[in-house]
Amino acid sequence: MTPEPHDTLMWEARTQPGRRDELLAWVEQTAVLALLAEPGCLDASTYLGGDDRVVVIAHTTGTAPRLPDPPDELLLRAVHRWPFRKHAFYRK
């Protein structure tokens, strides 16, 4: 049995102190636009965590693409990426 492709990407970056808004601008102007240009990309959402984290969650119809890497000077550590396969969706 062939495993189903990962169709969801969760991407999380921790920024240098005081640089979250710069990273968020880069994510919105570069990474999200690159994601949305990929064939099969359905949507992308950004989230903020505290003063130093930016998260992107993207859903696709096939294997989730890789986001471009942000400028090193904005990051406190390497970006974390987790591919997932959507199991269920619930809405009130």
Residue 69 phi, psi (nearest 5): -80, 135
β strands within the chain, DSSP E: 8-14, 41-49, 53-60, 80-84
β-strand 80-84 against 8-14: which pairing, if any? Answer: antiparallel
> Is 57:45 a contact under the CB 8 Å cutoff?
yes
Per DSSP, 17 falls in state T
> Is 16:76 a contact under the CB 8 Å cutoff?
yes
pLDDT in tens, 38-75: 999 999 999 999 999 999 999 999 888 888 899 999 99
pLDDT band at 87; cut points 50, 70, 90: confident
Q: What is the mean pLDDT of residues 23-36?
A: 96
More confident residue, 4 or 64: 64
For the chain, give the percent of residues with pLDDT over 90: 74
Indicate the pTM of the whole model: 0.89
SS3 for 29-40, per residue? HHHHHHHHHCCC
Q: Is the pLDDT of residue 2 over 80?
A: no
Q: Is the pLDDT of residue 3 over 70?
A: no
Backbone angle region of 86, left / alpha / beta, with phi > 0 → left and psi within -120 to 50 → alpha? beta
Domain architecture of the chain: domains with CATH: 8-62+76-84 (3.30.70.100)
